[in-house]
Amino acid sequence: MNSWGPITFTIGSDDESAFPMAQFLASHFGEDNTHKENSTGARTLRIRTTSAFAGGRPQITVNDFTSDIPAAPTAVDSRGVTRGTWRGINQVYDYDIPEGTLVAGDNTITISTVSGSSGDDFLSPNYVYDSVELF
Protein backbone atom coordinates (compact mmCIF):
# COMPACT_ATOMS: atom_id res chain seq x y z
CA MET A 1 0.00 0.00 0.00
CA ASN A 2 1.20 3.49 -0.82
CA SER A 3 1.51 6.44 1.55
CA TRP A 4 -1.73 8.15 2.62
CA GLY A 5 0.01 11.52 2.64
CA PRO A 6 -0.13 14.05 -0.16
CA ILE A 7 1.05 12.60 -3.45
CA THR A 8 1.97 13.80 -6.91
CA PHE A 9 0.33 11.64 -9.56
CA THR A 10 1.62 12.10 -13.11
CA ILE A 11 -1.05 11.31 -15.68
CA GLY A 12 0.32 9.02 -18.36
CA SER A 13 3.36 8.00 -16.29
CA ASP A 14 2.13 6.72 -12.93
CA ASP A 15 0.24 3.46 -12.63
CA GLU A 16 -3.47 3.97 -11.91
CA SER A 17 -3.04 2.01 -8.67
CA ALA A 18 -0.96 4.90 -7.29
CA PHE A 19 -4.01 7.21 -7.29
CA PRO A 20 -5.65 7.33 -3.83
CA MET A 21 -8.92 5.56 -3.11
CA ALA A 22 -10.05 8.28 -0.72
CA GLN A 23 -8.97 11.71 0.41
CA PHE A 24 -9.07 12.91 4.03
CA LEU A 25 -8.92 16.53 5.14
CA ALA A 26 -6.50 15.88 8.04
CA SER A 27 -4.08 13.56 6.23
CA HIS A 28 -4.21 14.82 2.63
CA PHE A 29 -3.48 18.42 1.92
CA GLY A 30 -4.10 18.03 -1.79
CA GLU A 31 -3.29 15.60 -4.53
CA ASP A 32 -1.13 17.15 -7.23
CA ASN A 33 -1.74 15.71 -10.66
CA THR A 34 0.68 16.61 -13.42
CA HIS A 35 -0.96 16.66 -16.83
CA LYS A 36 0.57 17.32 -20.25
CA GLU A 37 -1.88 19.24 -22.39
CA ASN A 38 -2.02 19.74 -26.14
CA SER A 39 -5.33 21.64 -26.17
CA THR A 40 -5.50 24.94 -24.28
CA GLY A 41 -9.21 25.80 -24.60
CA ALA A 42 -11.86 25.71 -21.91
CA ARG A 43 -12.25 22.26 -20.35
CA THR A 44 -14.25 20.48 -17.63
CA LEU A 45 -12.81 18.41 -14.80
CA ARG A 46 -15.38 15.92 -13.51
CA ILE A 47 -14.84 14.20 -10.16
CA ARG A 48 -17.24 11.45 -9.15
CA THR A 49 -17.38 10.29 -5.54
CA THR A 50 -19.16 7.31 -4.03
CA SER A 51 -19.39 8.50 -0.44
CA ALA A 52 -18.40 11.37 1.80
CA PHE A 53 -18.16 12.02 5.52
CA ALA A 54 -18.61 15.28 7.49
CA GLY A 55 -19.26 17.34 4.37
CA GLY A 56 -15.98 16.41 2.70
CA ARG A 57 -15.87 17.35 -0.96
CA PRO A 58 -13.26 18.21 -3.58
CA GLN A 59 -12.09 21.65 -4.61
CA ILE A 60 -9.62 22.05 -7.47
CA THR A 61 -6.78 24.33 -8.41
CA VAL A 62 -5.52 24.20 -12.00
CA ASN A 63 -2.29 26.14 -12.40
CA ASP A 64 -3.35 29.63 -11.13
CA PHE A 65 -7.12 29.02 -11.24
CA THR A 66 -9.03 27.90 -8.11
CA SER A 67 -12.60 26.65 -8.37
CA ASP A 68 -15.47 27.74 -6.20
CA ILE A 69 -16.23 25.47 -3.24
CA PRO A 70 -19.11 23.18 -4.20
CA ALA A 71 -22.14 22.67 -1.99
CA ALA A 72 -21.81 20.04 0.73
CA PRO A 73 -22.94 16.56 -0.28
CA THR A 74 -26.05 14.95 1.13
CA ALA A 75 -25.27 14.03 4.74
CA VAL A 76 -25.05 10.35 5.55
CA ASP A 77 -24.69 9.64 9.26
CA SER A 78 -21.90 7.12 8.78
CA ARG A 79 -18.16 6.81 8.32
CA GLY A 80 -18.45 4.86 5.05
CA VAL A 81 -14.77 4.69 4.15
CA THR A 82 -13.58 3.60 7.62
CA ARG A 83 -16.18 0.87 7.96
CA GLY A 84 -15.64 -0.47 4.46
CA THR A 85 -18.86 0.16 2.59
CA TRP A 86 -18.96 0.63 -1.15
CA ARG A 87 -22.49 2.00 -1.26
CA GLY A 88 -23.12 5.65 -0.70
CA ILE A 89 -24.62 8.82 -2.04
CA ASN A 90 -22.91 9.11 -5.41
CA GLN A 91 -21.99 12.70 -6.27
CA VAL A 92 -20.75 14.32 -9.48
CA TYR A 93 -18.70 17.51 -9.28
CA ASP A 94 -18.13 19.37 -12.57
CA TYR A 95 -15.53 22.14 -12.54
CA ASP A 96 -15.41 24.50 -15.53
CA ILE A 97 -11.80 25.36 -16.32
CA PRO A 98 -11.68 28.69 -18.17
CA GLU A 99 -9.98 29.07 -21.52
CA GLY A 100 -6.34 30.05 -21.09
CA THR A 101 -5.95 28.22 -17.76
CA LEU A 102 -4.40 25.10 -19.25
CA VAL A 103 -1.17 25.72 -21.13
CA ALA A 104 0.62 23.69 -23.76
CA GLY A 105 2.95 21.31 -21.92
CA ASP A 106 2.89 20.65 -18.18
CA ASN A 107 -0.07 21.63 -16.00
CA THR A 108 -0.70 21.00 -12.30
CA ILE A 109 -4.16 20.04 -11.08
CA THR A 110 -4.49 20.00 -7.29
CA ILE A 111 -7.51 18.28 -5.72
CA SER A 112 -8.10 19.35 -2.12
CA THR A 113 -10.64 18.34 0.52
CA VAL A 114 -12.87 21.10 1.88
CA SER A 115 -15.49 21.01 4.61
CA GLY A 116 -17.00 23.15 7.32
CA SER A 117 -16.13 20.40 9.82
CA SER A 118 -12.92 19.00 11.25
CA GLY A 119 -11.61 15.76 12.70
CA ASP A 120 -8.45 13.79 13.32
CA ASP A 121 -6.72 11.65 10.71
CA PHE A 122 -9.11 9.09 9.24
CA LEU A 123 -12.12 10.51 11.12
CA SER A 124 -11.75 13.88 9.41
CA PRO A 125 -13.99 14.99 6.54
CA ASN A 126 -13.33 12.80 3.52
CA TYR A 127 -14.66 11.39 0.28
CA VAL A 128 -14.10 8.24 -1.77
CA TYR A 129 -13.18 8.61 -5.42
CA ASP A 130 -15.12 6.89 -8.16
CA SER A 131 -13.45 8.62 -11.11
CA VAL A 132 -11.66 11.74 -12.31
CA GLU A 133 -12.14 12.84 -15.91
CA LEU A 134 -10.84 15.81 -17.92
CA PHE A 135 -12.77 16.61 -21.09
Would you list the domain boundaries of the chain? 8-134
Asked if residue 17 lies in contact with residue 34, where contact means CB atoms within 8 angstroms, the answer is no
pLDDT score, position 87: 64
Bridge partners for 106 per DSSP: 36
- Label residue 99 by pLDDT band (50, 70, 90): very high
Is 6 or 67 the better-scoring residue by pLDDT? Answer: 67
C-alpha 32/C-alpha 14 separation (Å) is 12
Is 95 or 122 the better-scoring residue by pLDDT? Answer: 95
Report whether pLDDT(104) > 80. yes
Structural fold of domain 8-134: Jelly Rolls (2.60.120)
C-alpha 57/C-alpha 10 separation (Å) is 22
Report whether pLDDT(90) > 80. yes
C-alpha 110/C-alpha 118 separation (Å) is 20
- Label residue 112 by pLDDT band (50, 70, 90): very high
Sign of CA dihedral 102, 135, 45, 94: positive
Asked if residue 99 lies in contact with residue 53, where contact means CB atoms within 8 angstroms, the answer is no
> Among candidates 132, 125, 119, 129, which has minimal Cα distance to 56?
125
Report whether pLDDT(1) > 60. no
SS3 category, 84: coil
Q: How many CA atoms lie within 13 A of 8 on its CB side?
A: 6
pTM across the whole model: 0.86
Is 96 or 107 the better-scoring residue by pLDDT? Answer: 96
